[in-house]
Amino acid sequence: MSNPSLKNQIIIITGASSGIGKQMAIAAARKGAFLILMARSLDKLQIIQKDINDNYGVEAEVHAIDVSDTNAVQHVFSKIFNHHGHIDALINNAGFGVFDYFAEADPNDIKKMFEVNVIGLMNCTRMVVPYMLKSNKGHIINVASIAGKLATPKSTVYSASKHAVLGFTNGLRMELAGTNIHVTAVNPGPIRTNFFDIADPSGQYIANVGRFMVEPEKVAHKVVDIIGTNTREVNIPWTMSTGARLYQIFPRLVEKIAGNLLSKK
């Protein structure tokens, strides 16, 4: 069941300067939420902030931050809690990916993917959980990926980082069982955003899987609709989600039958 209104709820979104982060901010603003938006690019955040403040009748607060910087996260989140006292939801959306065969992968890219996708997500979550436990309410939404369930060639490291996100999310959900804090994993397939400008500058990936790509607005609306609900996972699109489930049951068969398709990057 979706939440029809988020009026006056305080929602933090990381990676909010573009892509699904930006679209989630707009979708939540339409439902009346007070947005706290985070990303590395302050200029881009301020443009979105002005759009929200001017057009949706709600306020948005922005913070320039690299979530992989533990000290910076502690400083910004402490300032937020000192000012607001609480938050209602954290959407961990900041992410980074580079598609390369592992033998050719740059060690710096490997390190950065885990620093942002895993450590950064944990940094932000670690700051909100104690406050949510005190009030016994809240929602943590971690944007993982179908790639965390169904690894493919050239996304070896990215898939590993998202697999870690899923493991963390599932473990945290069990730790918080019995409380009123919800923990949700969001597993999108490829989304039509500028993510692939960095992940695959050749454009080959988009050319091969373009028909499977999801529009960012669709993902954003599905995520915002479940804020405040006890939803375990959101998987988009259903075709890739079904493929991931089949892979978990029949991994050897799926690798054999769908090997050519999975290798298209």
**Cβ proximity of 141 and 147 under 8 Å:** no
Helix axes 19-30, 42-55, angle to 10 degrees: 20
Distance spanning both ends of the chain, measured CA to CA? 36
Q: Tell me the DSSP string of 31-47.
A: TTPEEEEEES-HHHHHH
CA angle 27, 33, 38 (to 5 degrees): 75
Quote the strand ranges of the chain, DSSP E: 10-14, 34-39, 60-64, 89-92, 138-143, 181-188, 233-236
Q: Are 216 and 20 a contacting pair, CB within 8 Å? A: yes
101 counts as catalytic: no
250 contacts: CB under 8 Å, gap ≥ 6: none
Catalytic residue (one of 56, 101, 131, 158): 158
Q: 127 with 73: CB under 8 angstroms?
A: yes
Burial class (CB in 10 A: 0-12, 13-18, 19+), 5: exposed
* Residues classed as catalytic: 158
